[in-house]
Structure 1
Amino acid sequence: MPVEVRINVAAISRSLRARGGPAERALRDRTERVASIARREAPGTMPRFIESRIEATSAGLQGVVTSTHPATRFVLDGTRPHIIRPRRAKALRFEIGARVVFARLVHHPGTRPNNFLVRALREGR
């Protein structure tokens, strides 16, 4: 007696795109895992600005991890050596150890790139 299995591609596609279905739950879990890793890897106050969400697109559902911190691009790409000058005051004020220091300008050495979002994506797979 023959056994036949038919694959309904349209039904599979609809179920994968359905909001609240098993595919969305799995995608939401994975997206939140990537966001959690990104929060762990991000420097300073940046973790508070990392969010995750699920979006429906014409291609289907996709997970999105976003960092809205104003310095995110500088952390991801790094910076070149540059000069920092005060904007509203006559001097910059900062601490070195327990000592308060004032300066009219600072020669910043720049920073190395820290692409914590890519590392989170790779680790969260």
Structure 2
Amino acid sequence: MCAGFVVGALATATAFGAEVSVKLSGMNEVPPVTGSAAGSGMFTVGDDGSISGSVTTTGVNGTMAHIHAGAAGSNGGVIIPLVKEGDTYKTPAGAKLTPEQMKALKEGGLYVNVHSAAHPGGEVRAQLQ
């Protein structure tokens, strides 16, 4: 099964070892951010917790991006800082989720967030589910 990280879709179980897509929007931020900023990307999560992939944004002057712990509607702490390369943010080599973070991922309790100077708490976000 290949489940996507698709915002606005019904939650499904995450398939490990498969590529999954993510779409970021300001309306998914807590609180919501209005504007034209958006993003999309792809991540691969291995059975061992290894995670690789990236997101690319448009319409936002991003300063940093992370994978965070937190369910939809709530904010949480940083799990994995992403590496900025222009408008693309990549997982660092060797990034790995703990067993607890893998469980949270399966339950929709992780999200990717791109921050900006205008919105330091986050300008675009997508749940990983």
Q: Normalising by the residue count of structure 1, what TM-score does the alignment of the two structures yield? A: 0.30
Compare the two structures and name the one with the higher helix fraction.
1
Compare the two structures and name the one with the higher strand fraction.
2
Higher gyration radius (CA): 1
Instruction: Select the structure with the greater relative contact order (CA < 8 A; seq sep ≥ 6).
Output: 2
